Each structure stands twice: as structure tokens, then as C-alpha cells.
Structure 1
Amino acid sequence: MINSVPDPVMTITEMGALARSASAMLATLPTAARADGLRRAAQALRAAAPAIIAANAEDMAAATEAGLSPAMLDRLRLDEARVAAMAAGVAGVADLPDPVGQVIDRTSAPSGITLTRVRIPIGVIGIIYESRPNVTADAAALCVMSGNAVILRGGSEASRSNRAIHAAFVEGLAAAGLPADAAQLVESTDRALVGAMLTAAGLIDMIVPRGGKSLVARVQADARVPVLAHLDGINHVYVDASADPAMAVSIVINAKMRRTGVCGAMETLLIDRAYPEAADLIASLRATGCEVRGDQAIRAIDPSVPLASDADWDTEYLDAIASIAVVDGVDGAMAHIAAHGSHHTDAIVAGDAAVAERFLAGVDSAIVLWNASTQYADGGEFGLGAEIGIATGRLHARGPVALEGLTTYKWVGRGTGQVRG
């Protein structure tokens, strides 16, 4: 493991120059060539599975000794099934529609010039991420397929896994004749390299952070490069009075407990004051091993529930913990979400379509769902293949960011000799 480099700025400058050259080549390659590179990368990942799993075992041992939480260990862990899924995800990106060159719209200007907006790659993308080594392959695949070069900087806890995954991925690109510099990995754990990436304006065109609040906050505070980021996944499920009780239990348990460490996990359950089966809903969630904390109205239903603190409503637990509040109908739910949500993913369980539509229209989140688990907040489930992340801002891209979210556009004008007077 490389812990430091003599000159972080020079290191990123050199990587950025190589990435810029690779991105120029990728942008001119036909779809079939980029797709072939990803299919070969997927093959290389499958072949390297034993080496990847062995490297991950070393990371897991070190992370366990360092006291990482069970949720973080789950994010870090790789096994045969997860490596196979990673490879399948890379191959799946190769089969997605290519946005590069896609005509967004066409119009004729008053001058007679025909104007067309055409999708093009952004250029060089920097990905700064923690824990999940599969991001190494997912992000690289999406960037390459969308004609972008990528500089990857993973967390120190996954450094061995990331190196093994990256080596296999680049082997596949090279076998297809694609530039190996299209996907570069910052191998050093020196944090100064993150700062160098954040200030590499002109070399890196966009930064995407994937990790906890402290990472995202640092990136947003220090970056001199445009940032595409999401805040915490403080996601809510609101159970309306009109909800089917069996459906409500099923969705709430899945939203919280399927995988507690993912950004799409439910953190807060909101229950309509008029919902008749609140006690059963609380008991069912606790029966799965989930720790619950509630407001005074929840404690009135079940006095054994500990009182939630003010901080609970603004916490992304990423663990088997949920806060629960009673609200006055859909308006109360929307008010709570507006005050405490992170604009990520929020869901309503309701039989009343009018109430559901009010929720879907009124909640300002990147993803809103009706009668479905928040754990569907995933690019693969949206038919986008792998994803760079879930963007919760308002500009450029929102929700799962995949191929189209990694493109911008340019105007192409075709004239017949026009000159402006």
C-alpha cells in the first residue's frame, strides 16, 4: 500500500493529462468499440475473481480489526456472488443505449441555420468514494461507455480490493485496444491527493463523491471543480390511513432491513395518526431486530419504545435503527420530510390514489415512490445499469446517475452561407 507521494499536485496533474488524452480518443470511438472494451473487462473480472476475493479478505481483516461497523463491513465485503454481479454489471452497461451522439432536439433558427443539440461526453470525471469496492468497476464502466475518462480514488479500507478490480478492468480495456489511461486508480492513501483532485480545474471536469457526510461536505467545501453529489440518504416511508396493513408491514421491513447500509434504506417511518394498525407495524419492525426510537405519540402506543432525540430525525443510521413519528395525514408527512429529509428517496404506502398523488407531487426528493420500498433507489432497478450515485441536487442530473448523466451537449449549426448583419 502506498501511503504518500512526494508531490500530490504533480501526481494528479500527470494523471489528468493522461486522462484528457484518453478521453479525446474515447469520444471518437464508435459505440461497438467501447462496448467491446467493457465486455472484455467483464471477462477479466470473472477470471480475476479469486485474486479479487483474496485481496478483499485482507481488507476485511484490517477493517474488522479497525472496528468498522457491521454496515460498513457489509459494504466492503466481496464474495463470489458479488464479484459475479460486478462483472455482470459491467457487461450490462455495454448493452445499454449509447447517449453519445444522441440528438436531443433540432430546430430551424430565424436565420435559416439548422440548430441541433447533440449529447457529448463531459470529459474527465473524478470519483472519490469510500468502502464499496464495486464502485471501482461500476464507475469505470459507466465513464468509459459514455466516452469519459475517469480517475478513481477509493477509500483506504478497500485499497487492496480496488487495486485488484482496477487491474482486471484495465486488462480488459487494453485487450480491446482501448487506452488503459481511460480508467486510472489513485493507489496512494495520501489524503493530500483528494485535495489535489478537488482543485484540478482544467484537468478534471466533474467530481463525484460517494461516501459519508464528512466526505461529501469536504468535497463540496473545497472543490474548484463542478461537483455532482448526494447528501445523506435520510429516507422516509409514510404509511397513510388508507394503507393496506399487510403491504405496509412488508414495505417498511424491506425498506429498513433488506440492507441497512445502503443509501436507499429507510431511516424514518412516519405513521398517519388515523392509521389503525400502528402498534402491529411497530412490533413487526422490532421483531426483525430493528431498534426503534419514537416520538411521544409512538410511546403512547407502545411505552417500551425509547424516546427519539431531536438529532434522530436528521440522522442517517445505516444500521438496524429506525426513528418513528406519528403525523397528521399526508400534509403532516410532507412537512416532516421537508424539515428533516435529504431530498434522496421517500415513499408513501396508501390505498387512496388522490392522497398518493399529492405526496408524489409535493415531496421534493430525487425519487418518490408509491407502494414500493425505498430500496428500489438504484440505477440497476431503474434500468440504467450500474450507477455513479444518486444525485440529490437540482442541476445537471437528479436521481440515479448513469450514462446520460455523464454527458453534456453542444449546439451544432448547419447553414447555407448565412452572415449576420
Structure 2
Amino acid sequence: MAVYLLATLDTKGVELDFVRSELRRCGLASVVVDAGCLGEPAITPDVSREQVFAAAGTTLAAVRERNDRGEAVTLAAAGAANLVAAAYARGEVHGVLGIGGSAGATIGTAAMRALPLGVPKVMVSTLASGQTRPYVGGKDIFMLNAVVDIAGLNRISRTVLSAAARAMAGLLHFPKPVLPAGDRPLVAATMFGVTTPCVDRARQRLEEAGYEVLVFHATGNGGEALEGLIADGLIAGVLDITTTELADELVGGVLSAGPTRLTAAGKRGVPQVISVGALDMVNFGPRATVPDKFRDRLFYQHNPTVTLMRTTPDENRLLGEEIGRKAAAATGPTAILLPLKGVSAIDAAGKPFDDPAAREALFAGIRATHGAVPVVELERHINDAEFADAAVERLVGMMEARGVSTVG
């Protein structure tokens, strides 16, 4: 079994060589990838930096000539991701381990995110104790805090780097769990606190019908994880009740899942039922963290650390148009269900975010752009049991029509 080791060998070569020796002590072979650019590599790589930059569609000479460190890191990350993905497709990658600071973490985790769930991924970095979402995204990446800078070998760095190597060895040597025979098809659902009653009932109905349900919390990284698993081909159907991350991406909230949210199912042709859960809100942290440009907006303090801001009719129209366009571009069975009486627990008659004009703008945007995709409008609130039942029945019908069987 081979572990791909990634680092900039001009600055982290000695340290990576130590990791390689620790892996060898654990009975594992390795392939050293040099993602450096300027100085000479401290050890001889198996995959040169020239090969890394070639995989990014450029040359080492061109990158050096431009002398832009940020661009060099970006290209090295793209090249490493392409190289590792290609090697994995050839059956040559059994795990990936990277070491480094911000540049090393950017490069190493880019390669890790190019691999499917279940392939061991370990990143040792000084950034592991901070905000790791830009590096982890929606993937199963272990981030190990380097504690001290990865600058020379000492009793601390040896301890941490050895732990990383031994963790990788454990991930590879110990057997994976045996999946039960006749494992049920996977259905993905999206949920927020304000759409919980809907998704809880839908999950129960789907499980009764013989499906295994994965519920993703629509907090940005949840949406990223959802899109990644769909792209990896693991999901048989999607109940995308809670598309609130689109609002954060549009308006500038803290829980965006990026511009590719609501695209993976469409590209893979996976049956999907889409709704508009929690599109009445944009998410921020404590009230003091809300940008001043929003000071005149309507807010609801969900708890001391979460501030919700009501989306406007104009924002809702744009969100509806985006949902309609993305649904219309889908290559597989798709339907949109609209809860005409409210899209969240606080968007209902007498509740803080009740706004019929904003809801109508949202629905109008969808009606204008959905193409041939069916749009089902229900005189129900999103958390009504009847709405959840209708969404499940529509999705199950789509999956059955595609031959998705719940019989082992």
C-alpha cells in the first residue's frame, strides 16, 4: 500500500523525510510529491515539482518567472489535486498525508479533497487549531495540529509527525467495517433548526419505505459535504428541503456552501426534490458581528451566537430564479415543491419573519425559470406533515421509476 506524501521540499523536505521513515517503520511504502517552487528540494522526490505544475497546465519556469507566491501556491494545489486524482484512478493511492503551514495545507488538502470518502487523509499543519473549513470542506480529512512550526526536527515535531504517520498506518492496516448485506439505498436530506419537523417526518417515512437517510445540517459545510457525496456517486436520491445556504451565498452570510450548491444531483442525474426551506433568512454570528450595511434590516436573535436577518423580496426573487435555473439544468428527475404558507418555523402567520410579499417574490422567481421541471404548489407550511409526506412520495416515485430498489 502506498501513501502519497505532499510538501514543499525546499522548506519541509527534512521533516517529510522523517515522516517517510516513520511510515516505512510501520510497513508502508510512500510516494513523495514535491510541491515547492523556489529553493532546491532537500530530498529527492518521486514526483517532481515540474510534474506538479505540468498537471496544472503550466511549467515551473513560467511560475518562477511570474514570481507570484500566491499564484504559485494556487497552481501547485491544482496540479497536486490533478496528479493525486489520476493516480487514485489507476489504483496507486491508498492514503494521502501532507505537512506544512498555510501553503502546505492549501496544497495538501486540495489533493485530499479530490479523493472520495473513505480514502485516508491526514494533514499536519500549524493551521489545524484554527478555522479549518477552507481546508477540510466537506471531506473526511484529519487535521493534526503541528503545535510548533514545521521548521526542523525536535522533540515536539518528531512526536507530532510520528503520530501522523502512525495514524495513517492505523487507518490502512486496520480493516474497514464490513457493510451489511443488502445495504439500503442512501437518500440525502437537508435540514435546519427551523425546518426540523418537516425533515424529521420525511426521514421517518423514508426509513419506513426501506431507505437509509443521511441528514445534512445546512450550515455551509453540510451543503459542501452533501454535494461531494452526490458527486462521488453514493446518493440514490436527494430531498433538498432546506436550501438556505443559497441565501448566505447571495447576500453575504456566514453559512454559504459556495456557488456550486444545488448542482451535483443535477449533473449526475440523481432524482431530487427541491424546496425552499429557510430562504427567509441569512445567518450571522452575534449581533455585533453583523456588517453595518445591514443595520436597517429585520433581525431575529436565534440565540446569543446566531443572528438571523430576513431576506428581502428582491433577494427572494433572485434566489427563486437561481433555484429555477439550477433545477432546469438537471439531467435527472427533478421536482420543486413550494410551501405557500411559509418556508421556516419563523416564516408563518404571526411569526417574526412572516412576509407574504417576500415569499411570493421567491415563488415568482422559480416560476419564471424552472423550464420543464414540475413545480408543485401546496397550501401548506413547510413544517406541516402533509408537506413532508408530499415531498417523500414525489421522491420515492422518482427513485422507483429509475429502478432504485430497497430490497437487499
Structures share a fold, TM > 0.5? no
TM-score (norm 1): 0.28
TM-score (norm 2): 0.28
Q: Which has the higher contact order (CA 8 A, sep 6+)?
A: 1
